[in-house]
């Protein structure tokens, strides 16, 4: 073969370096370039509202293209939808659920309010057999609809980020129980932890959390949720919690814990956190390989305090291979200095500003380079 670009695998690899804006032109080069170009163009679809009218127009054009050329839906691997009555017209989710997403592995849906027809559409999307990772941050018409949306959901789901917003105390009876339990590898959730615990223990919840390797919870954790996780205490390797939860639960019970994510959801400082970490039981500290601080708020003078805290952290965590500090700031001086500061650190320590977790590797990824 004289032309190496006629090798499909090689062409797909080369096109993976081409900017998305140029892929449409790439698809016009040759007939053999159409498939790999389209597979890249449509592999990830993010429908996030910036301007409502523009968003509605884009969504409409996209749906029309997918409905006209339904083979394009087979290229979609990731689908993110921010659903709002002001942005997406009624019926769009139903039309989306009718498309043949044969390879969809990641689904993200955010909505302040779902109608009954929208709920039925979400239920059909959750039944796509290839789904592995699901994010569902929605308000349903009621608790019964939230429970029912999981009926016959894909058994291949391994990673779930679910923020139920409905009050289980007002739930209506549903005359069925889920016949199978889907074993999750990671679970991320938030809200009143007693509500989450009720859902996970409900016979209509299809998920088994007894073998989790990663768990994230944004709110203060309570004993009821901790009890639900009792079966995962020997399998969880990554815990992602607020600092208050880290100090309140017995981390020594998690015998294989190696990674800690510590979230700061308010404007509290980080200065006391390092002391709290040093006060952990030695059997916990001796296992930790990676610590990530998320959503810190910092100003320039905090760099000096941070430098002092990081100087001797390995004395307390002998197996520590990675410290990652991801912070948000409006301080222009700090932004200018952070690159120089980071380059002077131990290579095992990473400092990032205005970090976007959604654009990084999945939160449940366990690595300590």
- Domain range summary for the chain, segments of one domain joined by +: 1-41, 239-369
Which pLDDT belongs to residue 334?
Answer: 59
- Cα dihedral sign, 97-101-102-108: negative
Report CA 324 to chain centroid distance, whole Å.
18
Ramachandran angles phi, psi of 339, nearest 5°? -65, -45
Report CA 361 to chain centroid distance, whole Å.
9
Note the residue count of the chain: 369
Question: CA-to-CA distance for 190 and 265, rounded, in angstroms?
Answer: 12
DSSP of 233-258, one letter per residue?
TTT--EEEEEHHHHHHS-GGG-TT--
Element (H, E) at 78: strand 78-83
Ramachandran angles phi, psi of 81, nearest 5°? -130, 125
Which pLDDT belongs to residue 184?
Answer: 93
Question: CA-to-CA distance for 196 and 189, rounded, in angstroms?
Answer: 8
Give residue-wise pLDDT tens across range 213-225: 999 887 777 778 8
Which pLDDT belongs to residue 303?
Answer: 66
Structure-block tokens of residue 274: 């390092």
Which pLDDT belongs to residue 350?
Answer: 62
Give residue-wise pLDDT tens across range 98-135: 999 999 999 999 888 888 888 899 999 999 999 999 99
Q: In what order do the strands lie in the sheet with 290-297?
A: 44-47, 78-83, 106-111, 133-138, 159-162, 186-189, 214-217, 238-242, 259-263, 290-297, 322-328, 349-353
Which residues, given as ranges, of the chain have pLDDT below 70? 1-9, 48-57, 83-89, 165-180, 243-249, 264-272, 295-305, 307, 327-361, 366-369
Which pLDDT belongs to residue 51?
Answer: 47
Question: CA-to-CA distance for 151 and 30, rounded, in angstroms?
Answer: 45
Question: CA-to-CA distance for 163 and 140, rounded, in angstroms?
Answer: 11
Task: Find tokens 């969880």 and name the residue.
Answer: 236
Question: CA-to-CA distance for 14 and 8, rounded, in angstroms?
Answer: 10
Helix (H, G, I), strand (E, B) or coil at 286: coil
């Amino acid at each position: 073969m004289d032309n190496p670009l006629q090798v499909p695998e090689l062409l797909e690899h080369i096109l993976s370096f081409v900017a998305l804006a140029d892929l449409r032109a790439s698809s016009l080069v040759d007939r053999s370039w159409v498939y790999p170009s389209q597979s890249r163009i449509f592999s990830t679809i993010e429908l996030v509202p910036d301007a409502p009218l523009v968003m509605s127009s884009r969504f409409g054009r996209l749906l029309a293209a997918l409905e006209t050329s339904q083979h394009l839906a087979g290229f979609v691997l990731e689908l993110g939808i921010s659903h709002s009555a002001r942005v997406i017209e009624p019926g769009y989710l139903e039309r989306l659920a009718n498309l043949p997403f044969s390879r969809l592995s990641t689904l993200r849906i955010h909505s302040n309010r779902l109608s009954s027809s929208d709920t039925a559409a979400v239920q059909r999307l959750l039944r796509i057999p290839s789904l592995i990772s699901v994010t569902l941050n929605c308000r349903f018409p009621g608790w019964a609809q939230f429970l029912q949306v999981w009926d016959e959901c894909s058994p291949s789901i391994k990673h779930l980020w679910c923020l139920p917003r409905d009050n289980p105390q007002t739930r209506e009876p549903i005359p069925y129980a889920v016949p199978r339990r889907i074993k999750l590898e990671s679970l991320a959730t938030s809200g009143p932890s007693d509500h989450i615990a009720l859902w996970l223990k409900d016979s209509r919840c299809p998920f088994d959390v007894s073998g989790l390797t990663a768990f994230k919870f944004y709110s203060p954790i309570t004993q009821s949720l901790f009890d639900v996780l009792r079966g995962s205490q020997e399998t969880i390797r990554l815990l992602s919690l607020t600092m208050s939860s880290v100090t309140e639960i017995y981390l020594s019970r998690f015998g294989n814990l190696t990674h800690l994510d510590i979230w700061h959801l308010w404007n509290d400082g980080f200065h006391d956190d390092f002391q709290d970490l040093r006060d952990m039981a030695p059997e916990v500290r001796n296992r930790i390989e990676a610590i990530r601080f998320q959503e810190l708020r910092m100003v320039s003078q905090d760099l000096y305090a941070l430098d002092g805290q990081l100087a001797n952290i390995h004395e307390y965590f002998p197996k520590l291979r990675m410290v990652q500090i991801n912070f948000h700031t409006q301080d222009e001086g700090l932004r200018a200095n952070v690159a120089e500061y980071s380059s002077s650190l131990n290579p095992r320590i990473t400092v990032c500003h205005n970090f976007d977790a959604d654009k990084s590797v999945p939160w449940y990824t366990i690595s300590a380079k």
